[in-house]
């Protein structure tokens, strides 16, 4: 599979201010293979996956220079997937960017489907996720990811806490890993804050226990990287059955992202870490 390389922001429309310039990552000391792989993806995302914040209504594309052009990223076996070029959508005229000075609550005015992480190159759409028009996911369809005993309470919470819309995308990669990405839009960030369906207490269907991904936590502590407020990465605890599930949670203003990956045996960690970072970048 073609692997995604680094990315830097390039405005597609006249900018009101300068775009963020990527900084080349510093060389890191040698580490065990799994840690080296994760550190590579974290250095890459922290240093060069920055979208410019130039003015309402501007769209930004993300280019993909060759990985070997960036120090520390020449190894091809770190487990990352290749994604198409990412782009932030054009905002409605006069609408502010999320977390701009005049939008501190982080309201996303772009179409929610445009903020969904695209499927990686070489993957196939997963027909198991039932989608309505424009990638909309019905509440009951989303709740199928959770144990039956939790669904009614969650559904009532959506009604009480201002859920506006859910959109989703699902794919399967050649290695057999199945990914589902959901974006839940609420009326305000305060409602998204109280969503309990993504975290250590999430009651996923068929999962006895889920806990913080220790590899993610340690790597983020070891590396100089941006704040991860609103981000959680979890993995199904051992022992698990035929499949292991991993979950990524990104809460950004009025939008909550829920990313689920599962595969036969132990599901690899790096693809979920990569998806979490990329989806977080799209949400600003």
Whole-number Å distance between alpha carbons of 235 and 229:
19
| 9, 62 Cβ separation under 8 angstroms | yes
Asked if 260 contacts 245 with a C-beta cutoff of 8 angstroms, the reply is: yes
pLDDT reported for residue 215: 86
The answer to whether 253 touches 106, Cβ cutoff 8 Å, is: yes
| pLDDT score at 221 | 65
Contact 258, 247 (CB under 8 A): yes
Q: What is the pLDDT of residue 229?
A: 66
Q: Break the chain into its structural domains and give their ranges.
A: 9-283
- pLDDT score at 239: 87
Per-residue pLDDT of the chain (284 residues; tens, 9 = 90+): 444 433 333 333 333 333 333 333 333 333 333 333 333 333 333 333 322 222 222 232 332 333 333 333 334 457 899 999 998 888 999 999 999 999 999 999 999 999 999 999 999 999 999 999 999 999 999 999 999 999 999 999 999 999 999 999 999 999 999 999 999 999 999 999 999 999 999 999 999 899 999 888 877 666 555 555 689 999 999 888 889 999 999 999 999 999 999 999 889 999 999 999 999 999 98
Q: Give the tokens for residue 118.
A: 């695209």
Q: How many CB atoms lie within 10 A of CB 228?
A: 15
Answer for the pair 118, 172: CB distance below 8 angstroms, yes or no.
Answer: no
Yes or no: say if 256 and 186 are a contact pair by the CB < 8 Å rule: yes
Q: What is the pLDDT, as a whole number, of residue 155?
A: 97
- Alpha carbon distance 13, 195 (integer Å): 36
Q: What pLDDT digit, counting tens, does each position of 167-216 carry?
A: 999 999 999 999 999 999 999 999 999 999 999 999 999 998 999 998 88
- Residue 180 has what pLDDT? 98
pLDDT score at 262: 95
Measured in degrees and rounded to the nearest 5, phi and psi for residue 41 equal: -70, -35
Distance CA 163, CA 187 (A): 6
């Amino acid at each position: 599979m073609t692997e995604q390389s680094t990315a830097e922001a390039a405005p597609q429309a006249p900018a009101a201010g300068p775009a963020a310039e990527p900084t080349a990552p510093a060389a890191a000391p040698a580490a065990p293979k799994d840690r080296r792989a994760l550190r590579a993806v974290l250095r890459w995302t922290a240093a060069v996956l920055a979208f410019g914040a130039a003015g309402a209504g501007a769209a930004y594309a993300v280019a993909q220079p060759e990985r070997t052009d960036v120090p520390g990223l020449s190894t091809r076996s770190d487990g990352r997937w290749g994604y198409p070029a990412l782009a932030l959508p054009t905002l409605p005229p006069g609408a502010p960017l999320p977390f701009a000075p005049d939008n501190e609550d982080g309201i996303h005015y772009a179409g929610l489907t445009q903020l969904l992480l695209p499927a990686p190159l070489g993957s196939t759409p997963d027909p198991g996720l039932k989608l309505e028009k424009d990638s909309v996911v019905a509440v009951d369809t989303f709740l199928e990811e959770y144990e039956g005993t939790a669904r009614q309470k969650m559904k009532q919470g959506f009604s009480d806490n201002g859920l506006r819309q859910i959109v989703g995308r699902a794919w399967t990669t050649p290695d057999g890993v199945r990914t589902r990405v959901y974006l839940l839009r609420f009326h305000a960030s305060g409602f998204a804050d109280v969503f309990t369906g993504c975290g250590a207490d999430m009651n996923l269907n068929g999962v006895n226990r889920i806990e913080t991904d220790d590899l993610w936590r340690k790597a983020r502590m070891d590396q100089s990287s941006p704040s991860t407020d609103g981000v959680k990465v979890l993995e199904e605890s051992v022992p698990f059955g035929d499949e292991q599930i991993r979950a990524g949670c990104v809460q950004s203003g009025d939008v909550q992202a829920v990313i689920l990956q599962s595969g036969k045996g132990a599901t690899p960690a790096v693809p979920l870490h990569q998806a979490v970072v990329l989806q977080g970048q799209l949400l600003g």
